[in-house]
Amino acid sequence: MNSPNDTATPKTGQNRSKLFVPEPPFRPGDTPDFSHIRIPADHSPGRPDPMVDAYDTEPQATGLVRVLRLDGTIAGEWNPKLDADTLREGLRHMMLTRCVDTRMFSMQRQGKMSFYMKSAGEEAVAVASAMAINKTDMVFPTYRQQGILMARGWPLKELMCQCLSNAGDKLEGRSIPVLYSVRDHGFFSISGNLGTQMIQAVGWGMACAYKGEDGIAVAFTGEGATAEGDFHYALNFASTYRAPVILNVVNNQWAISSFQGIAAGQGKSFAFRGLGFGLASIRVDGNDFLAVYAATKWAAERARRGGGTTVIEHFTYRKEGHSTSDDPTKYRPKSEPDAWPFGDPIERLKGHLIVLGEWDETRHEELHKALTIEVRESYKEAEALGTLATPSKINPASMFEEVFEDVPTHLRRQRQEMGV
């Protein structure tokens, strides 16, 4: 049987175009085989000076920046030379992120909250990015960068209360779980509308530059939402006004059920899109903690030195469903996450520390146990303030507050009508 995308001879006329609809390489029932993805062993491309001409980053935009080999050794020019304590700190943040995700996912399944989103497989992107920038730099995240909050030490109880929409939720139960806003930890209010934060981050960066402040803005989007106009506005404005910004594209291969090719089209890489706007661009192994750290450090230095925005594509893989409402086995092989050739970010950093002689299985297991207890205790404290399944303690009158700075007449009338 011919594939529907085969170009057949047209019956009439000269137009040989045929509507092409891309499909992922594997669907449920297939055996995933990623041998077509080249895993560079020599660890090129190299690390140019952060003030390099943007167009000279083409090798970085089309290649894959890596530091960690799969066997835990390191190679290439991008080694950020972090000390063992910093590496262990990164490992801890990633493990904590996964631990929280596991707990919250199961609590959602028990009906304690309406929804949750894990970041399994992508922890290095969030954690290493956060560790490579200043705590005062504002991040404009999506819903899958909770690792930033771990790295910046936001109390777990507060995170959990937001997910539970309970009396401890400082956002007063206004948003669904995981749409956090944590200004004092440099974490911008997450929008459920995808891509909008990219151009907002550029506006924030422009404001930093206008005020002569040292801060930069660091935005994240999934690869799917790069198709939104906001992404293109962001690249255009970032280039025009040389905004001190990092625009991260987390290419985790899947936008709910749509594979990355739906957004990518015939593009060489998502990073490559940055070059068209004259922005420095890097494609990095997103499962490599050290590579993410090094690329982010490079981009932050470039931004702070007046070199403008860098686009970083994090090549990674979404190991689990999009959210608690999603079942990925409906559209991709069940074994695909295990077949993904870049390994797991936690295992890879752990392996590196073991190679260095700075870690071992026993310490790893002990840390995992300690984090599990920490998460369990925090969750108990959070749940004591209520869950979605218990009567809400949020004052109904708060619904009418903060629509505007002051409650206008019509909202006062509506509040009275509601009887509160």
Partner 1 sequence: MAQMNMIEAIRSALDVKLSQDPDVLIFGEDVGYFGGVFRCTAGLQEKHGLHRVFDTPIAEGGIVGAAVGMAAFGLRPCIEIQFADYIYPGYDQICSEAARMRYRSAGEFTSPLTIRTPVGGGIHGGQTHSQSPEALFTHIAGIKTIIPSNPYDAKGLLIKAIEDNDPVLFLEPKRLYNGPFEGDPNIPAVSWAGHELGEVPEGHYTIDFEKARLHTQGSALTIICYGTMVWVAEAAAKAAGIEADILDLRSLMPLDLDSIIKSVKKTGRCMVLHEATRTSGFGAELIAEIQEHCFYALEAPIVRVTGWDTPYPHALEWEYFPGKARVTKAITKMMEG
CB 176 within 8 A of CB 192: yes
Footprint of partner 1 on this chain (CB under 8 A)?
Answer: 138, 140, 170-172, 174-175, 179, 181-183, 188-189, 191, 193, 196, 198-208, 210-211, 217, 229-230, 232-234, 236-237, 240, 402-405, 408-410
Closest CB to partner 1 among residues 25, 203: 203
Give the phi and the psi of residue 373 in degrees, each rounded to 5.
-65, -45
Phi/psi for 353 (5° steps) reads: -65, -35
Closest residue by Cα to residue 182 from 159, 207, 216: 159
The smaller minimum CB distance to partner 1, of residues 115 and 233, is found at 233
CA distance 217 to 303: 9
CB of 396 to partner 1, least distance (A): 15
Nearest approach, Cβ of residue 327 and partner 1 (Å):
28
Rounded to whole angstroms, the Cα distance separating 148 from 127 reads 5
**Which residues have C-beta within 8 Å of that of residue 22, sequence separation ≥ 6?**
5, 259, 261, 262, 265
Beta bridge partners of 143: none
Kindly tell me which of 225 and 346 has the beta carbon lying closer to partner 1: 225
Nearest partner of 315 among 336, 335, 341, judged by Cα = 341
* Rounded (10°) angle between helices 84-109 and 289-304: 110
CB nearer partner 1, residue 171 or residue 355: 171
Q: How far is the CB of 111 from partner 1 (least distance, A)?
A: 25
Taking the mean position of all CA atoms in its chain, how far away is CA 159?
Answer: 17
CB of 392 to partner 1, least distance (A): 16
Q: Compare residues 203 and 261 and give the one whose CB is closer to partner 1.
A: 203
Q: How far is the CB of 54 from partner 1 (least distance, A)?
A: 18
Residue 4 φ/ψ, nearest 5 degrees: -60, -15
- Which CB atom, from 54 or from 87, has the smaller least distance to partner 1? 54
**CA dist., res. 8 & res. 20, Å (int):** 12
Query: Shortest Cβ distance from residue 362 to partner 1 (Å)?
Result: 42
Nearer to partner 1, 47 or 185 (CB): 185
Rounded to the nearest whole angstrom, what is the least distance from the CB of residue 205 to partner 1 in the complex?
Answer: 8
Residue 215 CB neighbours (<10 A): 20
SS3 content of the chain, % helix, strand, coil (to 5): 40, 10, 50
The nearest distance, CB 418 to partner 1, in angstroms, is 15
Please identify, using beta-carbon distances, which residue of 219 and 249 lies nearer to partner 1: 219
